[in-house]
Amino acid sequence: KQEVTQIPAALSVPEGENLVLNCSFTDSAIYNLQWFRQDPGKGLTSLLLIQSSQREQTSGRLNASLDKSSGRSTLYIAASQPGDSATYLCAVSLGANSKLTFGKGITLSVRP
Amino acid sequence: GAVVSQHPSWVICKSGTSVKIECRSLDFQATTMFWYRQFPKQSLMLMATSNEGSKATYEQGVEKDKFLINHASLTLSTLTVTSAHPEDSSFYICSAHRTNEKLFFGSGTQLFVL
């Protein structure tokens, strides 16, 4: 059974800091991995999608990497801003159009 | 703009009543939609996979008679929480695939059962 772990559960950093959010998964036979952002009481916004054949994806100040063999992914946020404060969820899929297995998320707080 | 619309965004109901939540794909057809539930500070847990024109596939431990799923068209799936109880209070969220693209999520429904 696939398990996704995100540690720590919460993180507080000062504005401007570069930071890394970690995600690990137990079954390396994934189809893809996604990072999502969730604001309190809101739905999910997909940030980055990495296919199993890819090593990283970039969007603006965000960079996600994937090491399938070791079961790890990182989300790098450059020059963090207070608006980045949210919960960041990592999820893996075992196939196309397949269900996602989510981690519990990391709640990020960026202090002005 | 949003590609998956979910309604209502929140609902309060009395214990014992039923609540219907709608999930619509706005500009694409979705043969498969997923329903998740999220308790505070917990991960999203898949409840069921909604298949257009056929029965939904429920995850282990999810009562199919309590959480009725109907996927009558390629753009609409509904989740009905029947005889709701306070322990059913949770955040419910749907998602759908647009062909060969990443998964899109609705904005979620916060259910409060009194």
Q: What is the pLDDT of residue A26?
A: 96
- CB contact, 8 Å: B100 with chain A? yes
Comparing A94-98, B31-35, B84-88, the range with the smallest average pLDDT is A94-98
For tokens 């690990």, name the residue. Answer: A24
Tell me the two tokens of residue B66: 């309590």
Q: What is the pLDDT of residue B68?
A: 95
Q: Is A100 within 8 Å of A3 (Cβ atoms)?
A: no
Q: What DSSP state is assigned to residue A79?
A: S
Count contacts between A and B (CB, < 8 Å): 52
Mutate which of A2, A35, A42, A59 to disrupt the B interface (most B C-beta within 10 Å)? A42
Q: What is the pLDDT of residue A102?
A: 94
- What end-to-end distance do the CA atoms of chain A give, in Å? 41
Q: How many Å apart are CA B98 and CA B75, to the nearest integer?
A: 11
Closest residue in A to B39 (Cα–Cα): A104
Q: What is the pLDDT of residue B104?
A: 86
For tokens 């309060």, name the residue. Answer: B12
Mutate which of B44, B57, B74 to disrupt the A interface (most A C-beta within 10 Å)? B44
The rounded percent of chain B whose pLDDT value lies above 90 is: 68
